[in-house]
Structure 1
Amino acid sequence: MILSMLDVAFAAMLIVIAILISLWLQLGLAKTLLIAAIRTVAQLSLIGLILAWVFARQTWYEVLTILTIMTLIAAFAAKNHISKPYQGLLFDTLLSLSVATFSIALVAMLLILQITPWYTPQYIIPILGLILGNSLTAISLTTGRLIDYLHEQQAQIRMLLALSATPFEACHHAIKGAITAGMMPTINSMMVVGLVSLPGMMTGQILAGADPTQAVRYQIVTMFLICAGSAISCTLSALLVVRRFFDNRQRLLLPN
């Protein structure tokens, strides 16, 4: 089934329903919904043109450039979601996202899907994008919760440090809670996948006429990749935050 621009226009009319609800209940979201809809059309149309060009050429440096830009945008987005940012947060976020997403994406390409070459754009770009989007949310939740704890529990942390605890030991409870919070959206999705919702990759393949069995297998692989990426990114971000908040003499600092 091929969608025409007229079909897309009809679908866009559905946004009017959300806008009318906002106006009726005075939610103040009408302008935001309109801007979001326009951005959705503009951004996806632009990326569609770029991907069509990259797919036709299939050169590694162009694919790597797109992956790098995607990661940078995700890092900025994750940083902007933190209510108490510190100097170096962008670097820490970028490092966590890069290590997690690129390592898991390469494992998927080389060992699971066995795609040659690894930079085949129609595989690596959507796979890394899925991992990146979920890791972004995970890092935002983990980092935000851990930073809040370090600010709010200064006295308790300093007391533990005075009792010869290491920075990791003094923050162990907070690190566990922060990583758990970051992982929870992914875990919740895995708990109800196939029962409450049919994820995007599986739905897209089925609508495109693919074998449902293969669509399910691809979705299972995708969910496991997302889970691993979220776990790695949450852990790295938490450890990097702790490193920023303690000096070489294991004293608690609150960086600006």
Structure 2
Amino acid sequence: MTEGLVVLGWPQVGLAFVLVLLVLLLMVLTRVGRKGELLWACARMTVQLALVGLVLGWVFAHPAWWITVGVLALMQVFAVATILGKFRGRLSSAMRRVVVVSSVAGTTAALAWFLLVVVGLSPWYDPRYVIPIAGMLIGNSMTGITLGLATLVDGMRDRRAEIEDALGLGATPRRAVDPLVRAAFESALMPTINSMLGTGIVFLPGMMTGQILAGVDPGTAIGYQIAILLGIVGAVGTTVFLALVLGARTYFDPRARLRPARTG
């Protein structure tokens, strides 16, 4: 116990794995597959978080703007790589560039506003604030872009004839794909909206729970949680909007005609 904080040692963390063993037993009894995947996921999660803990411990002890920027760049690279990996062979080079630009521009703008204006962070590169908050914004934006692009890419394939008919009747490319972009935008925002609807009644978010467990006053923790959820909405909405609007344009040539069907 340290200033009201119950510190978990590795033996106690190990006891938490008993719950995983319980799930494995239930999977055996019900003859459910993927037991190996569950074990691999638990092992990988544990190793990854242990390594991240070591890295963050060093970063927090040696705050410097170039280290913080380097960590943010690495997070962005992995986020973009994850998105592109979900659509391997299905995106054109122009669309891949759109993913990079929208992800970096949207999350950077939202992060800068949150840290510099909302929090008023000084120095601006303090890794204890920048890295955790950036992780939440980038992670949620990554999920949003993935969901939005999935709807857009599938829609452009399945409704190609409908879009061509609209163009033939005189519609602009923007007007022709507008219903599809709206549907994709709604699909991408829905998980974030649902999460906000359940926050405080159905569940307590991780950031707020962590702060309360660390001894932070609940009122302060709630203020931070409200702000970060609004920041996530801003980051997801901005990145997804850029990805969909700019991405939809890549399907048309300079003469406002649909480009030939492609898979990559």
TM-score range, shorter chain: over 0.9
Instruction: Write the distance in 2 (CA, Å) between the matches of 1:55 and 1:217.
Output: 24
Contact 1:92 1:240 in 2 (8 A): yes
CA distance 1:29–1:121, shift in 2 (3 Å): same
Instruction: Write the distance in 1 (CA, Å) between the matches of 2:47 and 2:97.
Output: 29
- Counterpart of 2:3 in structure 1 is none
- Counterpart of 1:79 in structure 2 is 84
Structure 1 residues 127-159: Cα deviation after superposition (integer angstroms, max 9, x where no partner)? 110011111111111001011111011111011
Instruction: Write the distance in 2 (CA, Å) between the matches of 1:17 and 1:70.
Output: 34
CA distance 1:90–1:23, shift in 2 (3 Å): farther
Contact 1:101 1:132 in 2 (8 A): yes
CA distance 1:93–1:24, shift in 2 (3 Å): farther
- Counterpart of 2:48 in structure 1 is 43
Name the aligned partner's letter for residue 40 of structure 1: M
1:82 CA drift (Å): 3.3
Name the aligned partner's letter for residue 46 of structure 1: L
1:83 CA drift (Å): 7.3
Structure 1 residues 183-240: Cα deviation after superposition (integer angstroms, max 9, x where no partner)? 0000001111101010000000111111001010000001000011110111011012
TM-score by length of 2: 0.93
Instruction: Write the distance in 2 (CA, Å) between the matches of 1:93 and 1:131.
Output: 16
Name the aligned partner's letter for residue 24 of structure 1: L
User: 1:240 aligned to 239, 246, 252, which one?
Assistant: 246
Instruction: Write the distance in 1 (CA, Å) between the matches of 2:101 and 2:154.
Output: 21
1:244 CA drift (Å): 1.5
Helix, strand or coil: the match of 1:245?
A: coil
- Counterpart of 2:193 in structure 1 is 187
Matched, 1:69 2:74: yes
User: Which runs of structure 2 are paired with 1:43-122 in the superposition (5 Å)?
Assistant: 43-82=48-87, 85-88=90-93, 89-122=95-128
Name the aligned partner's letter for residue 130 of structure 2: I
TM-score by length of 1: 0.96
Helix, strand or coil: the match of 2:32?
A: coil
User: Which runs of structure 2 are paired with 1:1-256 in the superposition (5 Å)?
Assistant: 1-82=6-87, 85-88=90-93, 89-253=95-259, 254-255=261-262, 256=264
Instruction: Write the distance in 2 (CA, Å) between the matches of 1:99 and 1:17.
Output: 44
Name the aligned partner's letter for residue 132 of structure 2: P
Contact 1:96 1:236 in 2 (8 A): yes
Helix, strand or coil: the match of 1:13?
A: helix
In the alignment, structure 1 segments of 5+ residues that lack a partner are none
Instruction: Write the distance in 1 (CA, Å) between the matches of 2:243 and 2:44.
Output: 29
Deviates more, 1:24-33 or 1:50-59: 24-33
Instruction: Write the distance in 2 (CA, Å) between the matches of 1:61 and 1:36.
Output: 32
CA RMSD of aligned residues (A): 1.3
Name the aligned partner's letter for residue 4 of structure 1: G
1:21 CA drift (Å): 2.3
Sequence identity (%): 35
Name the aligned partner's letter for residue 158 of structure 1: E
Instruction: Write the distance in 2 (CA, Å) between the matches of 1:90 and 1:32.
Output: 30
1:7 CA drift (Å): 0.9
Helix, strand or coil: the match of 1:119?
A: coil
